[in-house]
Every structure is written in structure tokens, then in C-alpha cells.
Amino acid sequence: MLMLLSGASGSGKSMCVAALRDRWPAVRVREDDELLATGKRRVEIVEALVAEAAADARAGRSTLLATQAPLGELLAAPSAIEHAAIAACLLDCHDVERLRRVRARQPDDHARFNQHHLNWAAFHRVHAVDSRWQQDVITGQDPSLRCDRWSAWRSGDPRWRVRVIDTTGAGQDEVVAAVAAWVEGLLAAPERAPLRGAWWDES
């Protein structure tokens, strides 16, 4: 199973990765930051990780992938159709809290975090609920993306279910526990994954 842990900067993804990396023997916990030094664009990094996760799945191992890529971008990755079970979780927080976290993490680099980052968080928030929202944000990124797999889905399609965890005001242990509970629920009952089998096939 491929489990997406998504969210804009400051949501708590890296914290969860650090806390959960060795939690489950049968789950490989990855973060797209691992490949940033390669100089590849995010869509290329996500595809590489999705492809590696597919190889792990064939060996009986699940993957928890933390990335800023939203669900639509993950599903459009060329190798996504190699996964027979996919689930997504969005970590979110209030904009003011996001600013506080990023500034605490990068106190000398305020200029790099601006309104564009908050807009990206807002897109994540609506995209998690409605696949129809501003699809051009994803579809115009890269010709390798197969957004046609999901772009015609109607609002409310049962395949488009994203677990949203609001981390505003929550302590680290509380956030990690919430993500762990989501993962363990899926591991215990894989049939709960919203995207199963040939999830892209409309025939």
C-alpha cells in the first residue's frame, strides 16, 4: 500500500517522518526531501519515490510517503498505476501558525517564505476535498503527469477521500499519534484505502 502524507511547509510532515521512520517493520517511511540534493524537480522526485514504493509493494512492504505533492499529483505520477491500494492524509494548520513554525525553523530566511506558500497551503486544503478545484495548478506542471486518470472525476467521488489532520495547537506527540493511528488503521484493514485495484479505470 502507498500512503501519502501531504501538506505545505510547516504542516508537520518532517516531524512525523522522524518519529515514525522505524515504527513499523513492514512500512518504509520516505520523504521527498531525501532526493532534493539530486537537483530534480518535485514531479521527478515523486515519480522516483512512487516507483521505488511499487517495488517495495511487490516485496510485501508498504510505503508512507511525505511530500508537498497533493493527491492529484501523486496519482498522475507514471508509476502510480502500479499501486493497487493508495490512501492520502493531509496535514494542515492555520496560516499564522504555519508562519510561526517556518520562521522558528528558518529564523534568518523570512524572505523565502511568503504569500505564495500560504496560497499553496490553501490549494492543498480545497484540493483534498474537491478534485475539481483549480486543476490547472497540477495539470500544467509537466507533460509526464497523467492527470487524465482523475481529472474527470466528479466532486464527491468516493475514490477522492483524504484524511485531514489539523495540527494547529497540537503537540508533536499528538500529531504523530494521529498519523500513526491513520497508518495502523489502513494496515489492519487495507480495504479501507479509497483507491484500490484499477482505481484509474472508468470502464
Sequence ranges of the domains in the chain: 2-196
What residues pair up with 92 in beta bridges, in sequence order? 166
What are the cell numbers at 22?
522505524
Quick count: other Cβ atoms within 10 Å of Cβ 184?
A: 13
Per-residue pLDDT of the chain (203 residues; tens, 9 = 90+): 999 999 999 999 999 999 999 999 999 999 988 776 666 788 999 999 999 999 999 999 999 999 999 999 999 999 999 999 999 999 999 999 999 998 888 776 666 788 999 999 999 999 999 999 999 999 987 888 999 999 999 999 999 999 999 999 999 999 999 999 999 999 999 999 999 999 998 75
Distance from the Cα of residue 170 to its chain's centroid = 20
Q: How far apart are CA 154 and CA 40, in angstroms?
A: 32
- CATH code for the part of the protein at 2-196: 3.40.50.300
